[in-house]
Amino acid sequence: MFTFYLETHGCQMNEYDTLIARSILERAGGVWTSRLESAHLIVINTCAVREKAQEKVLNRVRSLLYLKKENARAIGIIGCVAQSEKEKLLENAPLDFVIGPDSLRSLAELAPIAEGHPVLEKSAPLVDTQLSSRETYEDIVIQESRFFRMEDFPFSRFVTIQRGCDHFCSFCVVPFTRGRERSKSTLSILEEIKRLEENGAKSILLLGQNVNSFHNPTDTFVSLLEKILRETGIPRISFTSPHPKDFPMELLSLIGREKRLVSHLHAPLQSGSDGVLERMKREYTQKEYLELIENAYREIPRLNLTTDIIVGFPGETHEDFEQTRKVMQLADFDSAFMFAYSERPHTYARQKYPDDIPPEEKIKRLQIIIEEQNTRARKKNETYLGSTVQMIPEEFSKRGQEYITGKSENGKKILLDSRNLREEWIARHEEIQVKVESATSVTLFGKITEPDVY
């Protein structure tokens, strides 16, 4: 028997992969621990999307090396940085293993080392970064997913349905770290959702690098959603992250008419300029994107619309930037993830386009759209003042256990005071009626309207 500690950086897909890693290590005889100091095996799951991800990972590993003198027998990394930067990582830190997202099953090979068998220790680190065109881990049964996020309430859970991406946007490292698109079987997805439902889940977030391109021999994404609606009783179903190119009208219409589908659409714009979109290899124009948004607002009542934006992409002129500002205004996003462009390893943009926008200009443009979007988002959130929304709780707030955060029917973040909340309510209630009393650009603040829960 050995103990292992898991640390996750990055997106929800990484969080889900950490759950897969946990299941693999438990199969191999390991026991998960939340105490870093007591772990025989330390696993850091990494994300390569942000700039300087490699340096952050190396700094984190170096900060943990003292544990090798105490209890730890192996320290290493898994995930996207492991996949994309393995040579540099191995050159700069004494790692015991470097394992990519498609090779998580190799973690089981570390069990003898973690168990303390010196005759089995390797002089060289375990390195496995093979990309797969088939691996979906659908046979890995995640028994318990309450150890990382949303651990306080059993209501909200993740389910990965699709891995990899075939779009090869010129700025994106995902196809090089997670490989080509492949989808899980419908049967395995339904079985996983039913298990989560039996364990108290009320809200399911379907995950994929390009989730709405899901397809297997029996289903498209739309028909999968229809089967989940028909064969499970999950009250709330949402999904991320999609590509604007893959939004058929039947998907928008389904979201609009099915109350169990969360009225939230994440439609990554990236840029409003046709020239920049073409260099980004996004496969749509400004006009096509705005037509999608127009259709979405028409089909989906009380739509919560979010997006991703990159400023300072190579060759972006001031006119290109103004086109992005124009589309953001026309689309009237509820919120946006906004970034200044940074080169990612292996990508087409890094190879073909000089990073020619000065850093100070990137920051200037980023600050402009952040300020404009914050104003826009606050105004949209203020339209909820005085209204009553249905909230499913997800976790205690970073402010402490006096506050609970959760999501409304259309995915808006809500925070409420829980100090007088009776403990038995958690097990009894599926949703809370919340009256919105104030709002920021990010969060709705509310008060519970049901007096019997106090």
Q: What pLDDT digit, counting tens, does each position of 401-442 carry?
A: 778 888 999 999 999 887 656 555 555 556 788 999 999 999
Q: What is the DSSP letter of 424?
A: H
Tokens of 107: 């973690």
* pLDDT for the residue numbered 430: 64
pLDDT at 51 exceeding the cut of 80: no
Residue 124 burial by CB count (10 A; 0-12/13-18/19+): exposed, middle or buried? exposed
* pLDDT for the residue numbered 241: 87
The more confident residue out of 421 and 268 is 268
* CA–CA distance, 133 with 202 (Å, rounded to integer): 32
Domains in the chain and their CATH numbers? 2-128 (3.40.50.12160), 156-380 (3.80.30.20), 388-453 (2.40.50)
- pLDDT tens digits for 278-333? 999 999 999 999 999 999 999 999 999 999 999 999 999 999 999 999 999 999 99
* pLDDT for the residue numbered 147: 45
**Is residue 46 within 8 Å of residue 9, measured between CB atoms?**
yes
> Cβ atoms within 10 A of the Cβ of 408, count?
25
* 351-363 mean pLDDT: 97
* pLDDT for the residue numbered 448: 84
* CA–CA distance, 163 with 179 (Å, rounded to integer): 8
pLDDT at 210 exceeding the cut of 60: yes
Identity at 281, one-letter amino acid code = K
Element containing residue 302 per DSSP (H, E): none
Among candidate residues 55, 53, 61, the one with its CA nearest the CA of residue 77: 61
* CA–CA distance, 322 with 337 (Å, rounded to integer): 18
- pLDDT tens digits for 85-119? 899 889 988 999 999 999 999 999 999 999 987 65
pLDDT above 70 as % of the chain:
92
pTM: 0.90
Give the end-to-end CA distance of the chain in Å, rounded to a whole number. Answer: 45
Q: Kindly report the average pLDDT of the chain as a whole number.
A: 90
